[in-house]
Amino acid sequence: MFNIALYQPDIPQNTAAIIRLCSCFDTTLEIIEPCGFHLDDKRLKRVAMDYLDKSKIITYRSYENFLTKKKDSRIILMTTKAKKNYNNFEFKLKDTLLFGRESQGVPKIVHNNSYVNLKIPLKKNSRSLNISMAVAITLSEALRQNSSL
């Protein structure tokens, strides 16, 4: 199955919504620290509710640690800076779908270490989607392509 990875997330409520999404689709959530909040933050717990206990969550102390564990995985970076659209890409089971920090995205090294960088096409002059929406859209397409929905 697919994994969702969050690079140093900033907003606990967004992470909590993604926890719920991953729980509902039996998808592992990987969190690359440091986060802009503590994982026991009450705002995270309020939105995640009882899904927190039903979720598969892996945390990595650093991006380097994440890369070491993922050396045999395709890391698909979702970024507004990509040229290729997500709906023109063939997702494979066991891909890791990586999403950047809400406030800053990811540094260039993350772009360079990804298997491919993809974007969700938006209308002109639109900056970006909420990260939980972007995760839902991308995961839905990956699952659809692999007949997992």
**CB count, 10 Å around CB of 30?**
22
- pLDDT tens digits for range 62-119: 999 999 999 999 999 999 999 999 999 999 999 999 999 998 899 999 999 999 999 9
- Residue 89 vs residues 51, 104, 118, 145: alpha-carbon distances, Å: 30, 25, 8, 10
Number of domains in the chain: 1
| CATH number for position 100 | 3.40.1280.10
- pLDDT tens digits for range 17-26: 999 999 989 9
116-119/84-85 β-pairing: parallel
Q: What is the dihedral of CA 149, 122, 133, 146, to 10 degrees?
A: 20
More confident: 4 or 41: 4
For the entire predicted model, the pTM comes to 0.92
Read off the tokens for 120: 């969700």
The residue range of the domain holding 68 is 3-145
